[in-house]
Chains A and B, each alone.
Chain A
Amino acid sequence: MKMLAALIACSWVFVTHAAAPAAPTYGDAFKGLYNQSSAAVPVEAPVTVQPPLAILFSDNVELWFQYVKSSVAYWAGIVPSSLTNNVVLADTDPNFLGGRVLAMLKRHFPTSEYVKDFREAVASGKTGAIVVDVLPKGMEPYGDRTTKFDIILYFFDANMSPVSRISGHGERRVPFGAADAGVQVAVDGALRELDTKVDKLVH
């Protein structure tokens, strides 16, 4: 019985006093990419693109991926590997978000390619670009247990000027006792909404 009490106490220390990585502060979608505020881009304006397109991911995506990585590393130092919650690892793996977004965009624009920045886009002869931005909100175990994902696509014309901003939203309220964090469901929901809007608005 004493051992059980000690184990509970130890766990409580982990939960309450461990310095888990803080969620990042997300910035403007064009930060580090383009000298303009993304707020000025017309919202969901019909847009015409001319392939091939460049696909860029914003710094916010990089921030989210780094946050996932640091969280994984942090908890790996606390929880024994045999007790690892593999479900939540699969749920939050950055490859899921990156792979799903790329697959959706390539289905619409088969000749599009990922590039690092606009200079590479122009150098590689792209006649338009899409900047993928993401605004994630993870579930809070003792607060709002809803995981939310907003995935925003900024379309740039052949002159590399932003012409339209199209967004998709997905969320999942994670019930008590669930093993996952609701990320895949939220990402799927956001991409489903985006897919419909791209069909409708992008020619």
Chain B
Amino acid sequence: MRVLTGFWIAAMLLLFAPLTFADSCYDLVNNRNFDCDAQAQPPRRPQESAPKPAEDRSKLREELRQRLNEKSPAESRVTPEELGKRIADAQGRMETALKNPTAAGARQRYDAAVADLKGAYNDAANRVSPALRAGLRDNARMLEARYDELAARANWNGTPPTASPEPVPAQPANMAEAPPVSADPGDVGIGAGGYVFVCDGPIDAAKVSCREVQPDGRQCLAVMSFETQINWRDSTTTPCSGSDLARRNAFLLAHPEVSGAVAAAAMSYECGDIAKNYVAAAQANNGPAAAAALEALQKAGGCGLLTHVSPQAAPTESDPRFVSRGATPMLDQTVAACDQQPEACAAVVNQLRTGTSSQAVAALYSNAIQIGLEIGAMMGSAVLSAQQNTMAARRLNMNSAGAPLIRRGGGPPNGGSTVYRPRPPVSGCVIGGPGWCTAQ
């Protein structure tokens, strides 16, 4: 009978599966319980009481955006062509100063032009990938060495410079009007795009095989030139031979006037790669790669592409699609608190998981069986008068959750050490105390 009653009680417990515990809330921010009904939101610590001012953050962000936009607007819009022109312009001023070193202020003009040349190369180098940067720096160094040599020959105190063994050729008025492969006494020349061609014979021959050295200074593309016109190109590039690169460098050293065109070609080459990567990333829906390519494109001055794209308007707070949300007390007490204190939240989740473990279930069953057995024993006492003395004091009060359910021994109803309280099924949870991990 006692066992039967015990199992009946256990079965009833399972039927009453939905839940009983004190209506208390747990504040993840302050790690304490509070009365949910007394206050919709737990009071926060003074330093946390003020919500983060979204408006202030918005203003700050806007200010940062403006500052970023204001930062070097001229620099950020420099195109390869403009950089090529800056280099050519600096070179032109350097040569003018060198031609007449005795003129008033020639030295100052020369120094200023050198500074501009370096600045232009730096700007170009900062806008290309590391692979191309090294090539540009090499070109800049070659050019500087060349002009240092010329400057050393000039007597800035009034003596005319000695004749240069290799007179500096005149700067082409317009790079775009240069022939596809410029005629050169040798077999190396430069095309309109700023690419250097290294040929197996005279560059203006009726038919000659050449290699178009790519701006990275490493890859070459095989081409066929017919009287300086390229009418066949290989489909892929191959690594340049050492001799081809040496001939190219010698050509650049001897022809500093083409440096601007070469630098511009390097940047344009980079633009082509960036644009290709950007399109590929966008087509693959690859956000990080697209963002990186866009940043590189912006860094390269837009490559003439971004000006054709109208910027997408960012949504504003007053966007008609957005609904002003009403109160969400449960989300505020659970998810919002969890977001603010992820460690405490993880601890709560772990305790809740422990609360459904087999040990917790076993404790629940054990508790139910114990209570059932006690009730069975109590009812048995009514029949077995022989045990009346020991069982008389036991009472069952199912209407008061706070009062002890069952008393053992003969003490007073509310008193003393003889009160029996069944152990809570789960003893490890400290989040909600007696009410368990109750955030509601």
Binding site for B on A (CB under 8 A): 1, 3-4, 8, 11, 14-15, 20, 32-36, 46-50, 55, 57, 59, 61-62, 65-66, 68-69, 71-96, 98-103, 106, 113-114, 116-120, 122-125, 141, 158-160, 177-181, 184, 203
Contacts and interface: CB of A to CB of B under 8 A. Distances in A.
A85 B13 contact: yes
B405 A95 contact: no
Nearest to B406: A82
B291 A46 contact: no
Contacts of A119: 317, 319, 322, 324
Given A81-B402, A95-B437, A61 B20 contact: no
Interface stretch (B52-60, B76-84, B188-196, B410-418): B52-60
B349 A203 contact: no
Given A94-B330, A95-B349, A15 B15 contact: yes
Contacts of B321: 34-36, 118, 160
Contacts of A160: 315, 319, 321-322
A43 to B, nearest CB: 16
A84 to B, nearest CB: 4
B282 to A, nearest CB: 9
B424 A86 contact: yes
A116 B13 CA distance: 38
Interface stretch (B112-120, B162-170, B221-229, B339-347): B339-347
Given A72-B440, A160-B319, A32 B361 contact: no
A179 B319 CA distance: 48
Contact of A158 (B58, B314, B324, B351): B314
* A-side interface mostly: helix
Contact of A86 (B16, B317, B355, B398): B355
22 contacts: A14-B16, A35-B321, A47-B285, A65-B331, A72-B18, A75-B16, A77-B20, A78-B20, A79-B13, A82-B371, A82-B405, A83-B9, A86-B360, A95-B349, A98-B334, A99-B334, A102-B345, A106-B342, A117-B323, A118-B315, A125-B57, A179-B364
Given A34-B323, A82-B405, A177-B14, A113 B339 contact: yes
A63 to B, nearest CB: 9
A50 B9 CA distance: 56
Given A57-B328, A103-B349, A123-B58, 9 more contacts: A34-B321, A57-B335, A82-B421, A85-B14, A89-B355, A102-B342, A116-B331, A117-B322, A184-B356
Interface string B17-54: 11111110010000000000000000000000000101
Contacts of A8: 8
Nearest to B360: A87
Nearest to A106: B342
A114 B12 CA distance: 41
A71 B18 contact: yes
B15 A102 contact: no
Nearest to A64: B330
A116 B322 CA distance: 12
A3 B400 CA distance: 18
A80 to B, nearest CB: 5
A185 B287 CA distance: 34
Which A-B residue pairs are the 4 nearest by beta carbons? A90-B355, A48-B287, A65-B330, A69-B440
